[in-house]
Every structure is written in C-alpha cells, then in structure tokens.
Amino acid sequence: MKKLLPFVLILIFKTSIAQNSDLLKYVNPLIGTEKMGHTYPGATAPFGAVQLSPDTDTIPYELNGRYNPDVYKYCAGYRYEDKTIVGFSHTHFSGTGHSDLGDFLVMPTVGALKMNPGIASNTATGFRSAFSHNNETAEAGYYKVKLDDYNIIAELTATTRVGIHQYSFPKSNDAHIILDLMSGIYNYDDKNTWIYVRVESPTRITGYRQTNGWARTRTVYFAMEFSKPFKSYGQKNFEDKQVYKGFWRKFNQNENFPEIAGKKLRMHFDFDTEEHEKILVKVALSPVSQTNALLNLQTEAPGWDFGKMKEQVQELWHKELSKIVIQASEEEKVNFYTAMYHTFINPTVYMDVNGEYKGLDQNIHKATGFTNYTTFSIWDTYRALHPFFNIIQPQRNNDMIHSMMAHYRQFSMRSLPVWSHYANENWCMSGYHSVSVVADAIIKGVYTGDAEEALNACIETSNKRKYEGIGDYIDKGYIPAEKSGTSVSNTLEYAYDDWAIAQLARKLGKQDIYETYMKRAGHWKQVLDKSIGFMRPRLTDGSFKKDFDLLSTHGQGFIEGNSWNYSFFVPHQPVELMQEMGGQKKFGAKLDTLFNMHLPDEFFAHTEDITREGIIGGYVHGNEPAHHVPYLYNTAGQPWKTQAQVRKILEMQYQPKPDGLGGNDDCGQMSAWYIFSSLGFYPLSPGSNIYSIGSPSVNNAVLHLPNNKTFGIEVKNQGKGNVYIQKMTLDGKLYTEYSITHEAIMNGGKLIFYMGSKPYKK
C-alpha cells in the first residue's frame, strides 16, 4: 500500500493536468495584445493582485513637455507588434484606455551590465532583448518567452499576490537580474515620489515605491526572494539633481549597500550560472507593508517548485473557466474562454492574506467578512461585467459591493467609486455608475450587506452638486452646454443611473425616493432635440446648440462617442425613447441607418480608442456607450435585426488572434458583452431583472450556477448563416418572449433555440 501511494498520486496529478488543459487550451492571452485590445499576455491568478507580464517598452508620457500620443498604445505594457522586451513587471491593467502601474520591472541578462533599457532598434544599447513570437507561449497563469539577446528562457506564473519568475540561464560568470524600480507604464519625471529598498539577505529584498500618477497617491510594497544567493549587487540612481540625503553620502551606496532610497533607482543582482541553470524569483506585493508582502509570499508561494505553482494557478483558472461549459467550433471556444479569462482578471484583489488593505483614507483597514477589491473601471463594467458576475460570480460581486461601500465610507468625499484604483479614486470617465452595480446586485439578491446604507450611499453619490454638472442637472434637468464639454452624455448617464437608484428604492419599499429618482430618470428627454430626433447639447437658455455635428466625437457634448451612438443611450426606458423618437417605425429606421451608414475617413483620424474595424456602419462597438444598441431592435419590434447584428458583431469584433479585439477590452466589459451575446441574451438595463434575447453563437452551453443548479442553452440548427431564431422553448415549453428574467436563469432549466437562415417575423 505504501509503495502504491506515490503512483496513485501521480495518476491523480496527471488526470488533473489533463482536465485542466481541456478548457485552458482555449485561453489565448495574446488575443487583444495587438492594435486596440490593450490586454496583456502575462501570468495572473483569477482576479489576482499581481499581473506579471512582459513590457515591450516603457515610453515616456511626455515628449518635449507635451503629451506623447504613443503612450496610449502601451496601456498594458506589451504590444504584439514590438520586437523587444524590456522586462517583466508585476502590475498591469487589462484592456484600459489610460494607464499606470508597471511596478517592479525585472529583467535577466547575461554579459556586460547595462542599467538602461536601451532602444528597440538596437538592443545592444541596453538591457532589453529581442524576442520572437515563435518562442513565446501564453496561457492562463503562465507565460514563457526566449530572450534572444541573452539566450535566456523566461517563464512566469503567479499566485493571487505573488509573481514567480523562472529564468533558465546559459553558462556565465556575468549573469544579472535587473530590478528596475523607476520604470512604469505611463512614465514621466516625478511620477515616483519615493522608492525604498532594503537588502535583507543575499536572497531577500523588501521595499516599496510610491507613485503619483493616474492614482494620485499610490504605494506598493514588495518582498522579493531569489532561489540562489546573488554574489554581488548594486544600484544606480538616475536623479538629474541629487536631492540632499544627509550623510548617506559617506557611503558608496552603489555597490553591495543594503539601504537604498530615492526617486529614480535601478538595481542589479549578479550571479554565476551553469548552462541551463534555473534561477527563480518570487515577488509578492502588498498595499499595506513590507511585512505583509513577506507574509503574502510565505503564505502563497513557499518553496521553489515552479511547475507546482504553475499547476496551482492553472487549477484555479480551470475552476473559473468551467463555470460555463460550451460546445462550439474550436475558434468560438477560443473566443469564448479567452473572453471568460478576460472577465475574470478585473477587478483585482486588494488585500493581504491577513485581510489588511489600505483604504481611501490612506489608513490601514482589515476586511472582515469580505475580500477587498480594487480596479473598478465602472463606466465600462457596470454594463455587462458586473451583471455577468451576478450570475456566475455572485460571491465575488458581493465582495465587490462591500469594497465599494468601504470606499464610500473611507473617502472624505463620501462617494461610491467612479474608478477605484489602489486606495485611490482616479475620477476617470463620467457618471456615477456604481449605483447601477449596487442596485443590480441588491435587486438580484447578491449583496449581503446593509441595503439601506447602500441606497443612502447611492443617493449621496448622486447629489454631489459640484461634480461634473450634477447641481445643474438636478436643478434644470440637464447640464447646460456652456458649462461642460460632455453635457449631453453626462445628462444621459445620470438619468440612467437615477433610474437604477429608483429601482433599488422600490425594491426597499422607499416610494418617495423611487418617485424622486424616477423623475430624474426621465431627464434624458431634456437633451433630446425632437425636431431632429437626436440628443443634442442644450444651452442655459433652453435652446439647442447650433453648428451641431451628429458624427463628431469632439466638442459636441459627448464623451467617447457621438450623437448617433449616444442618442440611443436610454437603456432604462427604450420604449419611451422610441415613442419620443417618433414611434416604432421611425425608431427602427434610425437603427438601420446607424448600422448601415458609411463613415467618412476623417472620422477615424480624430477618434481615439477605436479603429475602423471597431465600427459597423456608424455603430461603434469599440467603445461602450452603444453596447446595448443592437438589442434595441427588440424594442423596435424587429428582433431578427438584433439577432443579425449581434452575430455580426460577435464575428467581426472578436477574433481569435492578437489583433482580434475591435476596441479596448476595458477591464472585461468587451469580453462580458461577448459572453452574454454568444449565449443568446444581454442585460439591456442593469438594475432590472430582465435580459434581452439576441442570437447565440454557441452550439450548446451549460452554466454551472453558484446555487448548484444548471442553466442549459441548446442551439438547434446552429450555423454560420443560421443567425435567426425560429422558435424557443424553455424547459420544454414554447417560449415567445424576446427577453428572459434573472430568476428564470437562476432557477436552472434549459432554453432551446431553434435557428434558421431566414428572419422569423412572428
């Protein structure tokens, strides 16, 4: 028996690997790394605090004192088009259109020590290395690449709070591991306010860096361990002017000196290596302290078995991915599971293993009864990502609402997050869409906290009169165009958010609040110029702005969109919108025009975040404001056009290749749209319990719900041309609605779609 046991364990081990690779093989983290996706290919655990990924450049935010537009391309640190890697850093946003992070960039090298990254066109100028996609592997939780300049194989994996590097060196008595503490994504002078490093032993260093960037006051603590003692080490300080540091000048701080601090520092650790010798580096992060970083490291990543740590994180990924099992084409499976992967990256855990985290008040708090998260890109993710979590990740979404409430309580401004970012509010984008996330979660029974307190937080957030025209919006029903460059989109977004608050109030039996907010929910009518049938900037005197361009995205009163797209942004009252726009027929025709127009070339020249590929007619999928629009054909009484457009978008905007995403993935929102739509339904109005029916692209799907029930989707006669629903049955009974409730899904059951190549017009 004793002899048998190891063999049995090996069998179990092999079986679990085989099972994992079932779904894992469909995840391709390289999708979205070219052109507009802004995803990163490196290693992360589900919702992990560490995102360990290669950076192909660290270009400056400013050139000659002006914004460098190229920096935008490097939001995720990695560009598939690039030929060189500067190193592997530990924090990355997934799919954003603005950035930060890139903490603690590590790069292994061999030969003469170089302390600058050098230039891409000549890697000999610095520590960067050429690489080839032929020698690159990206999986969920694992990344591997050969660094051609050094003949080093770099492998990366991660736990929730620890990044693990494994570098296979050639034989050398001049091998180095560079730790670049000054570089970052969206880099500029003075971004680092302080860096501190302590060499505790020849295998351990700890420290922190504080930055002032997109997050105004952000500190990341770290603990770093090497599997082999370094034989020597040193630092280089790149400060233009040596800031006075008292009598530390007594020392040569550049060589083997264990106390290091400054604003612009890089370090190197030196080794002798044998051919193929593997050196592992583990880097744990903490929002609280070096002590906690070390605790995270020792708790999550003891030992030096890289393969085991890789296996553990891939087990976690498999568990997450297998919450929905689909049958579909191989290509579709890659799209689907890569989308699942991208939806389970953000928000990120922002808490140490002992429950401590830094709050918005910059104090240390202990999360009791929940996991604290950050990286809430809510303008994007309230639309489909958080609704998706309410179905498949309710525990995490519950924790995210708890995190938002902690943000609200700790923040001197007493508001729910707009963009929660490492104990900071970065105020990116518009609206107060946290109220939608909160309302949706409470209405769907997901939030376990104090619902009344949450409603009050929503109300307080929606009444910040000084924030982006809210005072005018409350007083006049709209934001005058003279006072804001985004007066129309803000008015529209507030109106939707207010509707979400109203729904929450109704759920809690607060009739007066419901009525107040339902009035505000109708404010979208204030910016609808019925004479032209479009949303339009309105002046203080009540008149509409003259010289108005329906297509332009600049100076017309909208953010990340034009009037053509934003005029449909009444996700909460589509029927009323249709009526105001002249009824079902006119509304349908207007949707037709949107999807079929031909945009002039100059439109693209001045629009960020999207490419021609991100657009269908005039419908912009690459940005979020119109994500619900294809589903409005259901409102217009032409569900077959919803079905056709959804399938067209699924096919055009999501392709299983590095440049396959038609726009920024935006912390999973684009991917969440994919998952919903490929399954055949979409949350048109988060805050209601109703999903709108589209056209599924899978052949079959089983949702393993957290209540241990399953909801099945079966698609009969699926095929590329068969995008039109001919018939549906729910649990064997004919189903004639083009919508389905949250309860129907969560109760389990089976929805069967019968597809055909011709529209079924009732």
Residue 414 CB, shortest distance to a second copy, in Å, is: 9
How many C-beta atoms surround the C-beta of residue 541 within 10 A? 7
Percent of the chain that is helix, strand, coil (3-state, to 5): 35, 25, 40
Minimum CB–partner distance for residue 70 and a second copy (Å): 16
For the bound state, the minimum distance from the C-beta of residue 465 to a second copy, rounded and expressed in Å, comes to 12
Q: Are 749 and 731 in contact (CB under 8 A)?
A: yes
Report the Cα 393 to chain-centroid distance in Å. 16
**DSSP code of residue 36:** T
Residue with tokens 């770093």: 224
Helices (H) and strands (E) in the chain, counts: 20, 39
Closer Cβ to a second copy, 13 or 194, answer by number: 194
Phi, psi angles (nearest 5°) of residue 534: -135, 155
Q: How far is the CB of 191 from a second copy (least distance, A)?
A: 8
Smallest gap from residue 428 Cβ to a second copy (A): 5
Q: How many CB atoms lie within 10 A of CB 335?
A: 27
CB of 425 to a second copy, least distance (A): 8
Residue 622 beta carbon to a second copy: minimum distance, rounded to whole angstroms: 21
Least distance to a second copy, CB of residue 437, Å: 20
Taking the C-alpha atoms of residue 232 and residue 230, their distance in angstroms, rounded to an integer, is 5
Minimal distance in Å, beta carbon 66 to a second copy? 12
Query: What pairing do the DSSP bridges indicate for beta strands 733-734 and 43-44?
Result: unpaired
CB of 187 to a second copy, least distance (A): 11
Distance CA 194, CA 212 (A): 10
Of 139 and 493, nearer to a second copy (C-beta) is: 493
User: Which DSSP helix (H) or strand (E) runs through 285?
Assistant: strand 278-286
- Provide the minimum distance between the beta carbon of 289 and a second copy in the complex, in angstroms, as a whole number: 6
Q: CB-wise, 239 or 270, nearer to a second copy?
A: 239
Q: Least distance from C-beta 429 to a second copy, angstroms?
A: 8
Q: How would you classify residue 680: left for phi > 0, otherwise alpha for psi between -120 and 50, otherwise beta? A: left
Task: Between 242 and 708, name the residue whose CB sits nearer to a second copy.
Answer: 242
Cα gap 328→722, rounded to integer Å: 14
**Footprint of a second copy (CB under 8 A):** 61, 188, 190-191, 193-194, 196, 198-200, 206, 208, 210, 212-217, 241, 243-248, 250-252, 258-259, 261, 263, 289-291, 361-364, 411-413, 425-428, 466-468
Minimum distance between the CB of residue 565 and a second copy, rounded to whole angstroms?
Answer: 22
| DSSP code at position 288 | S
| For a second copy, the closer CB: 210 or 298 | 210
695 by DSSP, 3-state: which?
coil
The pair of three-digit structure tokens given for residue 65, joined into one six-digit string: 């004192």
Nearer to a second copy, 188 or 754 (CB): 188
CA distance 240 to 751: 65
Of 96 and 273, CB closest to a second copy: 96
Beta bridge partners of 195: 209, 262
Which of 371, 415 has the CB closer to a second copy? 415
Give the orientation angle of helix 4-24 with respect to helix 306-321, to 10 degrees.
50
Residue whose CB is less far from a second copy, 212 or 448: 212
The secondary structure of 418-433 as a DSSP string is: SEE-SS-B---SSS-T
The CA-based angle 369-373-374, given to 5 degrees, is: 155
- Give the C-alpha distances (Å, rounded to integers) separating 350 from 46, 358, 374: 13, 8, 6
575 vs 584: CA distance, rounded Å: 9
Dist CA 473 CA 480 (whole Å): 8
Closest contact distance (angstroms) between CB of 484 and a second copy is: 10
Helix (H) or strand (E) holding 374: strand 373-374
Which one, 76 or 164, has the nearer CB to a second copy?
76
Which CB atom, from 35 or from 407, has the smaller least distance to a second copy?
A: 407
How many other C-beta atoms lie within 10 A of the C-beta of residue 278? 16
- Comparison of 193 and 584: residue with beta carbon closer to a second copy: 193
**CA separation for the pair 349, 343 (Å, rounded):** 14
Looking at the Cβ atoms of 114 and 421, the one nearer to a second copy is: 421
Minimum gap (Å) between residue 256 Cβ and a second copy? 9
Give the separation between CA 300 and CA 55, rounded to whole angstroms: 25
Q: Smallest distance from the beta carbon of 365 to a second copy, in angstroms?
A: 9
Closest separation in Å from C-beta 357 to a second copy:
13
Q: 212 vs 700, which CB is nearer to a second copy?
A: 212
Q: Which is nearer to a second copy, 121 or 252 (CB)?
A: 252
- CA distances 489 to 447, 468, 479, 523, 569, Å, are 29, 11, 10, 12, 8
Provide the greatest CA pair distance for the chain: 88
CB closer to a second copy out of 493 and 714: 493
The residues, ordered by sequence, that sit 6+ positions from 363 with a Cβ below 8 Å of its Cβ are: 410
Residue 13 Cβ, how far from a second copy at the closest point, in Å?
39
125 Cβ neighbours under 8 A, 6+ residues apart: 114, 116, 118, 119
Which alpha helices (H) appear in 551-598, and where do they start and end?
Answer: 563-566, 574-580, 584-596
Q: Which residues of 296-323 are buried (b: 16+ CB within 10 A; e: fewer)?
A: bbebbbeebebeebbbbbbbbbbebbbb
Asked if 164 and 155 count as a contact pair (C-beta separation under 8 A), the reply is no
Contact indicator for 70, 33 with CB cutoff of 8 Å: no
Helical packing angle, 487-507 and 451-462, nearest 10°: 160
User: How would you class 58 by CB atoms within 10 Å of its CB: exposed for 0-12, middle for 13-18, buried for 19 or more?
Assistant: buried
Measured in residues, the chain has a length of 762
Q: Which is nearer to a second copy, 7 or 244 (CB)?
A: 244
